[in-house]
Amino acid sequence: MGDGAVTRPERGKQLKAIVFDLDGTLYQEDRLGEEVNQSAIHYVAALKDISVAEAEVLLEATRAADGVAGTLSRAVVSLGGTLQEMHRRFAADCHPERLLKPDRRVRELLQLLSTSFRLHLYTNNNRDLSGRIMKQIGVGDLLDRVFTIEDSWIPKPDRRIIEDILAKIDCRPQEALFVGDRYRVDLAVPESMGCPVFEMKTTEELLTLADLVH
């Protein structure tokens, strides 16, 4: 395990579900992340009628000034964009089919975990792109519930959404483990509510999750 945040679930029968982030968690591919980033930059350039280079600087500065999480979603909205249009562009501009391939180890991990826990997904991504990513990496059939930005159009981090997810998967906070690669975005809010969390940065760290919960 690396030096990420880990709140160990209590042993025994208390843990019922695992809620995974998607991008950077169930797969790592910088090129797809760059496609997302470039799509957002071009959107800001169109919004502000500025060059792509100027938009890149503006977007980065806006993210850096956000003391909460600095996500693309929050930055684009603060610059006058809408999540709906940003994600329409993401779906059109991003190509997981060209860039991603299944990792047998991740699928085997989820298969193992699914024998003991219900597995869910909570992502800041949109339904179309998330579905294409999950198909490409070969994990969609192993997830019980998938929660995307389109369910509420409220981006991570947000306590209300975690409360809603816990209600929909019928879990108390201590019964749902949240897994993600960005502590402030994916894990800080659920941990503050009493959920166990698991922060990882690499696939190798993700694979140690089986030892943590069994």
Q: Which of 187, 140, 147, 185 is nearest to 167 (CA)?
A: 147
Q: 116-119: long-range contacts (C-beta < 8 A, 24 or more apart)? A: 116/213, 116/214, 117/15, 117/16, 117/17, 117/18, 117/177, 117/213, 118/16, 118/17, 118/18, 118/144, 118/145, 118/169, 119/17, 119/18, 119/20, 119/143, 119/144
pTM: 0.91
CA separation, residue 58 to residues 62, 64, 164 (Å): 6, 10, 33
Domains of the chain by residue range: 17-27+101-213, 30-97
**C-alpha 89: how far from its chain's center?**
18
Class of domain 17-27+101-213 (CATH, top level): alpha beta
Half-sphere exposure of 48 (CA within 13 A, CB side): 21
- Average pLDDT per block of 10 residues along the chain, 214 residues long: 56 82 97 96 98 97 80 91 97 97 96 96 97 97 97 94 98 97 96 97 95 77
- pLDDT value at residue 176: 98
Q: Which residues contact 153 (CB under 8 A, 6 or more apart)?
A: 83, 84
